Amino acid sequence: MVIGDGPSRAGLEDLARRLGVYPRVHFTGEVVSTHNLHQFLDISVLCSLSEGFPNSLIEAMAAARPVVATPVGGVTDAVSHGVTGLLVPVDDPAPLVDALRMLEADRLLRARLGEAGREAVRLKFRQDIVIEKLTMLYEVLAGRCPTATLGRADG
């Protein structure tokens, strides 16, 4: 399942046709939903070449789904290799295939990574925690708060 839309969609659909897998790939386009759609997936993959902060990985982790991602942008802020997901090199399909095969074959690993991801989201990326950290950052940038508290775990 490929969720999203953009300039690469036509090329990806063409590639799926050339590889003979088009009947097995679902191109959904953009999906706007109030529900976390990751609950319907077994594994979430984000094999980006570049990335900001990956909300889709946070959503997958919140749904207790194992994630496989490339270590670009903010991905490494969300995913700890072997703990909350698996990180694979950029632009090298073999390790991605290996990671997916390993997860497919190991139900317990999928469950362990999924639960660890859910717990990490609960501890680090809940709305109240993120808003508090952003508020503090804005206060520091505005000169209203000392920078010493910005990196503290309790601040």
Gap between the Cα atoms of 138 and 24, Å rounded: 46
In a domain, 1, yes or no: no
Amino acid at the residue 51: E
Instruction: Answer yes or no: do 107 and 52 share one domain.
Output: yes
Instruction: Answer yes or no: do 117 and 142 share one domain.
Output: no
In a domain, 7, yes or no: no
Torsion of CA 91, 92, 93, 95, to 10 degrees: -130
> 61 and 119 in contact (C-beta within 8 Å)?
no
Q: What is the pLDDT of residue 87?
A: 98
Q: What is the pLDDT of residue 94?
A: 97
Instruction: Answer yes or no: do 107 and 141 share one domain.
Output: no
| pTM of the predicted protein model | 0.73
> How many structural domains comprise the chain?
2
In a domain, 142, yes or no: yes
- Tens digit of pLDDT for each residue in 64-91? 999 999 999 999 999 999 999 999 999 9
Instruction: Answer yes or no: do 109 and 58 share one domain.
Output: yes
Helix (H) or strand (E) holding 97: helix 93-105
Range of the domain at 81: 33-124
In a domain, 53, yes or no: yes
Gap between the Cα atoms of 15 and 132, Å rounded: 44
**Which regions of the chain are under pLDDT 70?**
146-155
